[in-house]
Amino acid sequence: MPIRISVPKETTPGERRVALVPDVVKKLIPSGWEVLVEPGAGEAAGFPDADYVAAGARIEADPAKLWGSAAVILKIAIPSVEETARLPAGAIVVALMNASRNLDQVRALQARSVTAFALELIPRITRAQSMDVLSSQATVGGYKAMLIGADQVPKFLPMLTTAAGTIRPAKVLILGAGVAGLMAIATARRLGAVVEAYDVRRAAGEQVRSLGAKFLELAINAEGQGGYARELTPEEKVQEKVMVAKAVADADVIVTTAAIPGRRAPILVTREMVEGMRPGAVLVDLAAESGGNCELTRPGETVSVHGVTLVGPLNLPSQLAYHASQMFAKNLQSFLSLLITPEGALVTDAADEILAQSLLVSGGQVRHAPTRQLLEGGA
Ligand SMILES: NC(=O)c1ccc[n+]([C@@H]2O[C@H](COP(=O)([O-])OP(=O)(O)OC[C@H]3O[C@@H](n4cnc5c(N)ncnc54)[C@H](O)[C@@H]3O)[C@@H](O)[C@H]2O)c1
């Protein structure tokens, strides 16, 4: 008997992505899965129902059947409280849960006695690279952020020699050279800009330089656990501020991507720095969702301050929904291989390290300690 997966249409306002795409459906079916898709689930991302049917999925219009008969529900975002009420007890839900920001939904999953895996909790080990949704979606975000910057700035990015004069290349500054930042650098370089980048992790320097950009170096290395950054000490923050202020004042386009897992994004660009920016310069703050790297960012808005454009985009991957969904679905295909035994049955425990670490809720318990602490703290 194949194991049934259901793919609902996302309900978060503005969300255009879909968790599975037809090409991945085609690969899942011979591996022992059956796929039900809500009508129109992939439409906003460019995947019509007919393509899912051609790939071997069934379109299921009855929500009671779509949700109620599934063994595994695949979503982009955590199910809403109403959606969770439709889940059969014992079902498995896999999505980007963002638990610390969605505690009501986590409580609903817990009360429903379902098993919920949070894709953002997948450990960043080599074996899990193909399942790394944070990386795939950050790749999309970094690319799109750079394009927004290029679009908003009233300048060319490349150097041009024309009969109407010579144009100097634009200066682009990338703050935070992780997955998104490196993609922003590569995109800016392809557009012909001169690029500088800064990251607290010294290891990022080599990657930045290999993309043809200059790495701004401080005498500190703040690499923390698992390749992520740690928070800087107050003294380190002062050194950072002086160096960043100089680079900010000289840039035409700035893309900021700095994040510290589970914490508010660090402020790297202060109000005074914005006041010192070139007229017409643009700052795209990819960290807007977790508070922003610029003091003046307004999440979800584009504002103009002293002739400088500050963009605070939310959910950029959704703006490139076709490829973001394709990459997300490939990540899920890889994750699903951990949930099925060689005999084609669902695994009954989370013994595998990747499953164990990404397990958010099971058996009516919240398994992820930081989320449990937030819930117990009455947040
Ligand atoms: N499976 C794996 O092994 C795997 C998968 C993905 C990423 N990684 C690595 O993990 C690291 C971080 O990845 P990410 O992009 O998801 O990170 P992230 O989204 O958590 O943060 C973005 C970047 O901001 C930087 N940052 C944080 N505070 C800063 C500050 N004050 N100033 C400047 N920069 C600051 C971080 O160092 C990081 O490079 C990278 O080295 C990446 O290559 C490993």
Determine the pLDDT at residue 378: 61
Please give the biggest Cα pair distance in the chain.
71
* Catalytic status, residue 132: yes
> Who has greater pLDDT, 1 or 98?
98
Mean pLDDT in residue range 250-268: 90
pLDDT band at 267 (very low <50, low <70, confident <90, very high): very high
pLDDT band at residue 295 using 50, 70 and 90 as cut-offs: very high
In DSSP terms, which residues pair with 195 in a beta bridge? Answer: 172
Helix axes 321-336, 133-152, angle to 10 degrees: 170
Of the candidates 73, 17, 4, the residue with the CA atom closest to the CA atom of residue 47 = 17
Q: Looking at residue 207, what is its pLDDT?
A: 97
What's the rounded Cα separation, in Å, for the pair 118 and 60? 25
pLDDT beyond 90 at 72: yes
pLDDT, one tens digit per residue, over 149-176 is 999 999 999 999 999 999 999 999 999 9
- Check if the beta carbon of residue 187 is closer than 8 Å to that of residue 205: no
3-state secondary structure of 26: helix
- Residues 268-288: pLDDT tens digits? 999 999 999 999 999 999 999
DSSP structural state of residue 256: E
Report the pLDDT value the prediction gives residue 154, as an integer from 0 to 100. 98
Is 198 an annotated catalytic residue? Answer: no
Residue-wise DSSP of 218-236: -S---B-GGGPBPPPPHHH
Rounded to a whole number of angstroms, the CA Rg of the chain reads 22
How many whole angstroms from its chain centre is CA 63?
A: 28
User: 353-376: per-residue pLDDT in tens?
Assistant: 999 999 999 999 999 999 999 999
Query: What is the number of the ligand 1 atom nearest to the C-alpha of 180?
Result: 15
Question: What pLDDT is attached to residue 239?
Answer: 85
How does pLDDT run across 202-250, given as a tens digit for each residue? 889 999 999 999 999 877 776 777 767 777 788 888 888 899 999 999 9
Sheet with 58-59, strands from edge to edge, namely: 58-59, 33-37, 3-7, 72-77, 92-96, 115-118, 359-362, 365-366
CA–CA gap between residue 185 and residue 208 (Å, rounded): 8
Give me the pLDDT at residue 350, please. Answer: 83
pLDDT tens-digit readout, 196-211? 999 988 889 999 999 9
Q: CB under 6 Å to ligand 1: residues?
A: 124, 128-129, 132, 134-135, 138, 175-181, 198-201, 204, 227-229, 232, 257-261, 266, 268
pLDDT on residue 302: 97
**Which of 31, 62, 104, 124 is the catalytic position?**
124
Of 6, 110, 135, 358, the active-site residue reads 135
Tokens of 315: 């959910």
What is the average pLDDT value for the chain, to the nearest integer? 94
Mutation choice for ligand 1 from 96, 179, 244, 290, CB with most ligand atoms inside 8 A: 179
pLDDT for 344 = 87
* Contact predicate 320/329, CB 8 Å: no
To which H or E segment does residue 83 belong? helix 81-84
Question: Given a cut of 60, is residue 379 above it in pLDDT?
Answer: no
User: How do residues 19-42 score in pLDDT, each as one tens digit?
Assistant: 999 999 999 999 999 999 999 999
CATH class given for the domain over 138-314: alpha beta
Return the pLDDT at 71.
97
Tokens of 186: 């590569």
pLDDT above 90: percentage of residues in the chain:
85
Look at ligand 1, atom 42, and give the residue with the nearest C-alpha: 178
Span 51-58, average pLDDT? 98
Give pTM, 2 decimals. 0.94
- The three-point CA angle 238-244-246 to 5° equals 110
Specify whether 373 is catalytic: no
Q: What CATH fold (topology level) applies to the domain 3-131+322-376? A: Rossmann fold (3.40.50)
pLDDT of residue 368: 96
Query: Higher-confidence residue: 113 or 116?
Result: 116
Binned at pLDDT 50, 70 and 90, residue 335 comes out as very high
Residue 189 annotated to the active site? no
> According to CATH, where is 3.40.50.720 located in the chain?
3-131+322-376, 138-314
Catalytic residue from among 129, 210, 337, 365: 129
228, 250, 298, 357: the active-site residue: 228
